[in-house]
Amino acid sequence: MIKENGLIKTKVSLFKTFNYKGLIKRKLLLFSGLLCLLLSGSQFLFPLLYKSFINEVILEKKIAVLPQLLLLYVVAYVVKSAINMIYFKVSYKNAFALVRGVKELLWKKEISKSLSALNGLDIEDKFINIEADTRPLYTFLSEQIEGYIVQLFTAVAAILLLFLINLKLGFLALIVSVISIVVDGMISKAQGKMNLENRENDRTISNWIKNSVYGWKDIKAFGMQNFQMEKFSKLVQNYASYHRKWTNLWVISNRILPRVKNEFIAKFSLYFFGGLLIIQNEMTVGSLLVFISYFNFFLQSINQLTAINNSLNNDKPYYANISAELNTIQTILKVPQNERILENIDSIEFENISFSYNHKPVLNNCSFVINRGDKVAIIGNSGSGKSTLMKLLAGIVFPDQGRILLSGNAIKEIGESTILKRIGFVFQDANLFSSTIEENLFFGLDKKSRLQHQMDIEKSNLLTFVQESSAGYERNIGDKGMKLSGGQKQRLMIARQVVREIEVLVLDEATNSLDLNNERGILSELDTIWTHISTLIIISHRRSTIEKCNRFLKVVDGKVIELDREEALLGVE
- Other CB atoms within 10 Å distance of the CB of residue 236: 12
- Residues 434 and 425: beta-carbon distance below 8 Å: no
Q: Which residues pair with 536 in a beta bridge?
A: 375, 505
Confidence of residue 206 (pLDDT cuts 50, 70, 90): confident
Give the whole-angstrom CA distance, residue 286 versus residue 217: 77
HSE, side-chain direction, 13 A CA sphere, residue 134: 22
User: Nearest 10 degrees: CA dihedral of 23, 24, 25, 30?
Assistant: 180
Higher pLDDT, 273 or 528: 273
Longest dimension (CA), the chain: 118
Q: Say if CB 526 and CB 536 are below 8 A apart.
A: yes
> pLDDT digits over 164-178, tens only?
988 888 888 888 778
Q: Which of 181, 149, 159 is nearest to 294 (CA)?
A: 159
Angle between helices 66-111 and 26-42 (to 10 degrees): 150
| pLDDT for 377 beyond 80 | yes
C-beta of residue 100 within 8 angstroms of C-beta of residue 137: no
pLDDT in tens, 68-81: 889 998 998 899 89
Q: Rounded to whole angstroms, what are the CA distances from 114 to 333, 393, 414, 497?
A: 11, 13, 13, 19
Comparing 191 with 150, the larger pLDDT belongs to 150
Most confident of 397-406, 437-446, 494-503: 397-406
Q: What is the pLDDT of residue 4?
A: 42
CA distance from start to end of the chain: 58
Domain coordinates in residue numbering, the chain:
1-165+316-334, 167-282, 347-570
Percent of the chain clearing pLDDT 70 (strictly above): 91
Residue spans of beta strands (DSSP E) within 380-426: 401-406, 409-410, 423-426
The pLDDT assigned to 362 comes to: 92
Bridge partners (DSSP) of residue 414 are: 340
pLDDT band at 6 (very low <50, low <70, confident <90, very high): low
pLDDT > 80? residue 428: no
> What's the DSSP call for residue 551?
E
CB 554, CB 380: distance < 8 Å: yes
Within 252-333, residue ranges assigned H as helices are 257-258, 269-279, 285-333
Q: Per-residue pLDDT tens for 156-165?
A: 898 899 899 8
User: Region 378-392: what's the mean pLDDT?
Assistant: 89
Which of 172, 153, 165, 208 lies closest to 43 in space, CA to CA?
153
Residue 2 has what pLDDT? Answer: 46
Q: Which helix (H) or strand (E) holds 262?
A: none
Q: Which amino acid is at 303?
A: N
pLDDT confidence band for 332 (50 / 70 / 90): very low
pLDDT at position 334 is: 46
One-letter identity of residue 457: I
Pair 492, 432: CB distance under 8 Å = yes
Q: Mean pLDDT, to the nearest integer, of 1-6?
A: 48
347-570 carries CATH number 3.40.50.620: no
Of 274-288, 328-342, 438-452, 519-533, highest mean pLDDT: 274-288
Above 80 in pLDDT, residue 338?
no
Alpha carbon distance 129, 149 (integer Å):
30
